[in-house]
Structure 1
């Protein structure tokens, strides 16, 4: 009631912020109190829009678009599983729409929110303070209502999540002229023919924002929009040399706005780009960008020096801090031999030297250490332990601010458990630690059908350890207190433990042999399972219907055979009582027959399909009175007309590459054998991107929405044939080196003169490569035989054999010179 009073008063006073605020509050209460609240809220916003004028109307349009967008984000799985409809199935209930319809509706409302930009540009953001979460300095970058609404729309238009089928004239940022200075970009004429493209609409909004802020004397908002626009174009561009051009434009923009502090923001983006390039450095595979991090730091220092109190300087300080941050990590073998020098791997960044220490610890110490948080508490705990040994090591620091790795020497240590701690010699809070165990013992486990076997060996030479003591601490089924059992190894170092009645879990093992002791875990031992020795008779039914699809009212005839199996032998089951029941699509019983198998184990009968009710998938259930058989058999009930012709595509035998002209041939033939001539053929070609299996071994999941390549109409000729021609247009956003395969899905709907329609689909696979080759050979080859065979199979991308010539090279693996532990 209070909200309603505020709404009436706000409308009477034409108080835009309060009108919007009251509608937001009523929506909040509706979510809590009402059923179908989402639908009611949407309708309330629509009513509010119809009753409002600008700028209130623009704000409500933006909120409505965001409500649709948020609903999609929460229920995207539902929309991805829906096929596109030509029209809205329900113009009111948006929850029934397909993805294309929803995205178009969101676009319409965002576009409506930006109508009358001149008026919106005059409305200061302070006028809507009651419905805004104000952040310090935000008014410098979003000074007007137009800025707020435009950037809200951009959040939608910039999303990569747009899994709708794209048209043949799909918009792509393929024009290098779009990656240019702001004054040139404003004058660019955008291609808006692709109505489904969010990218083209985003560029249009950027143009409006830049055009508006060009008049400002304070360039903060202008530069903020321009940098966002440049990053968006660079990220989504498909033309070559976009990286070089991006840097060039940033440098030109920095010079054009110099000596104003905002010029530092362009320079900061250059430093950020250098940092990204530097992150790709790998000492083995990519050394090109080793010094990019250093270039980024130098540029950050220059920005801080030129504009020390600017936003660009603050960003540069943060970036520099991340780059010069010291990092340290230790990685070592879990077990090391007694009194023998070994190595430990140090991964480090921005370190010159390290102090390393070895602390001897117990199991209890390690358990306490694992429970401590944060890391500073762990350091304090370790430093309170008694130090066993300490040493220093010099690290190679090239001053490139990159991650490096080096193996450092670990001195000889006696039997026991240790924590190795590494700290920087220079003043730094950076530290790292790892735990190791020094022992000459190793534990091997295996299982048989009735036993769990442990074997204790010397880890240096594999010699079995005779009369070693194994102390097992365990729980039964993860429950109750720990139990303890002690075993002694035989002459082969083996302990055999018969499977217990209850599962042994969380097993910790202590092994001692002479002066050597070691700890191992976690293990588990399965319980003993008693085999069911009973011989059980099992039944299996086979049911056959006279057809797989029926019309309502038709009779259904069936015949079945019942088999019984005992001790591995099967025979027909005679004189067995069974029920056969007919169920409809709603799993409701329609009719039932009580039958008995004859001397041949068979049954037969018939049902009448109901005339009324839903069509769809029906099923027969056969149930044995003994309860040992209960199986379902499905069939279809449809109002169908017997087809008079069929259509299909001829196999794809040719090889194609991208941008080739492709022709697929189809044919329509009557079941009587004659050709279907002068039939209307409506076709569409859709492209879907696939990758080789190895692509996903080390790359993230890639999702490319389908794109329509061609559509049109043709007719069948005198022989009933028709041809569909299209060009194998590739997806230019995908790297050629990934060897993508473009699947062109061709669908044809053929309608004869009587109006009967049938469809067929085929797929043409096209890539930057035209052929695949597979090699197969036996896993084991007898080197003494002279007739060992190697099979090479060459096919085009459509699976058809193609002849080819090539060279086969056989390489012998080079064996390692020594065995690694």
Structure 2
């Protein structure tokens, strides 16, 4: 009975303690929303002291995530305190927690170096001493310590591989990892290291002969890739990234790190999108992971879109849309799904620009220059307006709309535009109708906009006895259109 009572008391303590942290973090978020960074940091400091006293490493690490956000706006003393506390906790926490704190420490140093680069660059080596305060470090010191800190985060690999990332779920509440539960802490730390060295890469080229020797294993399966020697790669940062990719877990099935690796290697080393397309096709056939397939398909769509041109690969935009439609037909609403919906909207966007000459004689055949994309036909309507009301009509959209609803168009003409369904912009000229002397509101509508989601666009014209004076020499009409299917996709809650 006593044991049961003790367990109930213990359970009540942990629940209450957890709720207390939630209340404190709610205050932090509210301060952030109110742009009160100093108050938010003070509240985080309270959580830090509490977590330290109760040895709650997860909450302790979470405070440093938030402190790293605030470090750019805080005073030097506050930054020094954050770094000092980090250095202290790195020595005291468990091995898995140490890895995460090393990443946070490296990020804070990188941010400080970037934001204070000019002042740091002016420091001389004499100002720097081993283990001195970071306020005295030179650029060389920062680079050396940042590199070492990232390296330290990968220590004790076996322990990190055995630690599920879900153990630190409370820390990553603002991350959107789709495979969170199957990811180890080592996977996360390794990816952060890879991203860091990617950031250091500058323009670099490998000879065609050297490329031909390493392309297949570099973009191949995991077993081929891990046996490759990269002595031919002279760029230290690229070599480091590729070597880190080789440290991923042994696996027979294609995974997300494989995709990340081949995209990197193609972009920085091979630089051949046609080869990449073939590799992506092969990878897609070798996996049954639906979320990974969506990501592979999205990369293929991006390649098709970027290769599309009127002179070459004329229908690659159409291929991109077809691949995007395949992603959007899935019931799983991943990040790739969301990006596919956005990309399809961009490619299929309906656009129209019209330029008209500034002067025209009465009854003259006047031409207009039309630039359009994804539009089949337009209708131009001329509404004759009394001179006394003409200038007031275009002061507000509501007045114009009311005038159009209550009056019949004096003249309307439909124009068919050639649409090759290749999603490119084209230009043409149209002959405007002859008009008698008068003042007109000109309305342009997209005839294919069945749901009238694009609305109507108007300008005002004055046709005088001898000339037609356009109040604006160039009228530009920009039509944005979403099909019902696109609009539904973009409204999906992610």
Contact map agreement 2:384 2:438 (CA 8 A) in 1? no
**Pick aligned residue for 2:112 from 61, 71, 88:** 71
Q: Which has a greater percent of helix? A: 2
Q: Find the partner of 2:320 among 296, 304, 323.
A: 296
**Cα offset, 1:100, TM superposition:** 4.8
What is the aligned partner in structure 2 of residue 352 from structure 1? Answer: 376
For the 8 Å contact 1:359–1:385, the answer to whether it is kept is: no
Structural mapping, 1:82-93, within 5 Å: 82=121, 89=128, 92-93=132-133
| Corresponding residue number in structure 2 for 1:268 | 298
Which of 1 and 2 has greater Rg?
Answer: 1
Q: TM-score, normalised by structure 1?
A: 0.44
Partner SS, residue 255 of structure 2: helix
Larger RCO, structure (CA 8 Å, separation 6 or more):
2
CA contact (8 A) 2:165 2:183 kept: yes
Which of the residues 272, 277, 280 maps onto 2:307? 277
In 2, Cα distance between equivalents of 1:176 and 1:338: 68
Structure 2: runs of 5+ lacking an equivalent: 1-41, 205-209, 474-494
Does the 8 Å contact 1:424/1:430 carry over to 2? no
Does the CA-based 8 Å contact 1:355-1:424 persist in structure 2? Answer: yes
Using the alignment, how far apart are the partners of 1:159 and 1:69 within structure 2?
11
Alignment length, in residue pairs?
418
Q: CA deviation at 1:274?
A: 0.6
> Residue 770 of structure 1 aligns with which residue?
none
TM-score with structure 2 length normalisation? 0.69
Q: Distance in 2 between matches of 1:206 and 1:357?
A: 62
Distance 2:48 2:184 in 1: 24
Aligned to 2:366: 342
2:391 to 363, 377, 388: 363
1:128 maps to 2:151: no
What stretches of structure 1 of length at least 5 have no aligned partner? 167-171, 370-376, 441-513, 523-821
Aligned to 1:152: 192
Question: Aligned pair in 2 of structure 1 residues 430, 290: CA closer, same or farther (>3 Å)?
Answer: farther
Matched, 1:228 2:260: yes
Q: Distance in 2 between matches of 1:277 and 1:347?
A: 22
Structure 1 counterpart of 2:102:
61
Task: Report if aligned partners of 1:84, 1:100 keep a CA contact under 8 Å in 2.
Answer: no
Question: Residue 143 of structure 1 aligns with which residue?
Answer: 183
Distance change >3 Å, CA 430–CA 52, structure 1 → 2: same
Note if contact 2:90-2:101 (Cα within 8 Å) is conserved in structure 1. Answer: yes
Where 1:430 maps in the other structure, the secondary structure is coil
Change (3 A) 1:402 1:8: closer
SS of 2:194's partner is helix
Match of 1:204 among 243, 255, 260: 243
RMSD over aligned Cα atoms? 4.3
Q: Distance in 2 between matches of 1:426 and 1:7?
A: 57
Cα 1:355–1:298 shift into 2, 3 Å: same
The aligned residue for residue 423 of structure 2 is 401
Matches within 5 A, 1:426-437: 427-428=450-451, 429-430=453-454, 433=457, 435=459, 437=461
Going from structure 1 to structure 2, the CA distance change for 1:29 and 1:247 (only over 3 Å counts) comes to: closer
Task: Find out whether 1:117 has 2:149 as its counterpart.
Answer: no
Per-residue CA deviation, residues 49-81 of structure 1 (Å, 9 max, x unaligned), is: 2333411211111001111222234345556xx
Tell me the CA shift for residue 390 of structure 1. Answer: 1.3
In the alignment, is residue 187 of structure 1 matched against residue 223 of structure 2?
Answer: no
Task: Please state if 1:102 is matched with 2:130.
Answer: no
Partner of 2:285: 255
- 420, 423, 426: which is aligned to 2:446? 423
> In 2 relative to 1, CA 363–8 (structure 1 residues): closer, same or farther, beyond 3 Å?
closer
Deviation of the 1:108 alpha carbon: 1.9
